[in-house]
């Protein structure tokens, strides 16, 4: 109501962002990324080619990945009690999305012959934890001394098609950096990762029959502005990311 969301923000306004690098001195690279009530602890570990992730295929050949991201969403992050064990479908899907977002900015294997493992643990969550993993993972890679091509950030966009239901004039409203309640009650969850020049990964879930091209265009443009703001906040990371490999 009054062009304000449930937490008092405007449609284009993002939650407060805070990021810290090198918080785990013994780890090769680490970062804590906080956006509102969503927080991700990202840890990067470097190894040789023998540490690559091996993948079983339908044929007798064996494939391996020199870069992989593991996303963990413990029940405690949303104040619940539950069992922890093998990753569920949601954790696998969020991890794959964050992995796709970071992979294009990694150096060529011939230039950086290391296996790179990123672990993202969600310590608290109120929406957009996968995009927090992208931001935290990017900072942790830099903290580990990985020469990425450029930083990337992620943001989740929402949509309210019938704003009259919430006291509006009926014009579709696009929301930047949605919370958990806005994800549940809204009509779209569009996750976009990249930088101000392009997109490295995106995923969209909608609860309506479809959306128009103008609405999609506005959502992508609004997401670009949001990513630029997040990247500027990530540049303020304290302490700044390392430019050399960890002595450990």
Q: CA–CA distance from 230 to each of 13, 41, 183, 214, 227 (Å)?
A: 11, 17, 20, 24, 5
- The pLDDT assigned to 205 comes to 94
Percentage of the chain beyond pLDDT 90 is 67
Neighbouring residues of 177: CB distance < 8 A, sequence distance ≥ 6? 13, 14, 15, 35, 36, 127, 128, 155, 156, 226
**Percentage of residues in the chain with pLDDT exceeding 70?**
96
Query: What is the spatial distance between Cα 165 and Cα 202, in angstroms, rounded to a whole number?
Result: 29
Per-residue pLDDT at 1 exceeds 70: no
Residue 138 lies in a domain: yes
Question: What pLDDT is recorded for position 167?
Answer: 62
Residue pair 133/191 in contact (Cβ under 8 Å)? The answer is no
Closest CA to 93 of 110, 124, 77, 69: 69
Give the pTM.
0.91
Assess if residue 196 is contained within a domain.
Answer: yes
Number of domains making up the chain: 1
| Helix pair 213-234, 129-143: axis angle to 10 deg | 40
Query: What are 79-114's pLDDT values in tens digits?
Result: 888 888 888 999 999 999 999 999 999 999 899 999
Q: Would you say residue 16 has pLDDT above 60? A: yes
Range of the domain at 133: 17-234
pLDDT in tens, 161-219: 876 666 666 688 899 999 999 999 889 999 999 998 899 999 999 998 888 999 999 99
Is residue 43 in some structural domain? yes
Residues 6+ apart with CB under 8 A from 70: 87, 95, 117, 118, 119, 120
DSSP state for residue 105 in the 8-state scheme: G
Check residues 65 and 59 and name the one with the higher pLDDT: 65
* pLDDT reported for residue 93: 94
CATH number at residue 164: 3.30.230.70
Mean pLDDT, residues 39-44 = 98
C-alpha 71/C-alpha 87 separation (Å) is 8
Residue 133 lies in a domain: yes
pLDDT at 130: 96
User: Is 12 contained in some domain?
Assistant: no
| Residue 223 located in a structural domain | yes
Residue 168's Cβ-count burial label (10 Å; 0-12, 13-18, 19+) is middle
């Amino acid at each position: 109501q009054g062009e304000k969301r449930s937490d008092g923000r405007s449609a284009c306004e993002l939650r407060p962002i805070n990021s810290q690098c090198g918080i785990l001195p013994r780890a090769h690279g680490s970062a804590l990324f906080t956006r509102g009530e969503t927080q991700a602890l990202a840890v990067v570990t470097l190894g040789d080619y023998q540490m690559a992730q091996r993948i079983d295929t339908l044929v007798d050949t064996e494939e391996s990945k020199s870069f992989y991201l593991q996303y963990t969403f413990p029940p405690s992050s949303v104040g619940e009690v539950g069992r922890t064990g093998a990753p569920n479908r949601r954790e696998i899907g969020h991890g794959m999305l964050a992995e796709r977002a970071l992979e294009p900015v990694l150096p060529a294997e011939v230039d950086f012959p290391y296996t790179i493992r990123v672990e993202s643990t969600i310590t608290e969550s109120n929406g957009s934890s996968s995009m927090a993993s992208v931001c935290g993972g990017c900072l942790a890679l830099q903290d580990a001394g990985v020469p990425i091509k450029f930083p990337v950030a992620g943001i989740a966009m929402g949509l309210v098609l019938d704003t009259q239901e919430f006291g509006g004039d009926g014009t579709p409203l696009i929301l930047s950096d949605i919370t958990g309640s806005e994800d549940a009650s809204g009509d779209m969850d569009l996750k976009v990762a990249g930088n101000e020049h392009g997109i490295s990964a995106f995923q969209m879930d909608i609860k309506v029959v479809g959306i128009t091209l103008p609405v999609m265009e506005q959502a992508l443009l609004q997401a670009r502005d949001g990513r630029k703001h997040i990247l500027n906040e990530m540049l303020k990371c304290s302490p700044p990311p390392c430019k050399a490999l960890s002595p450990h």
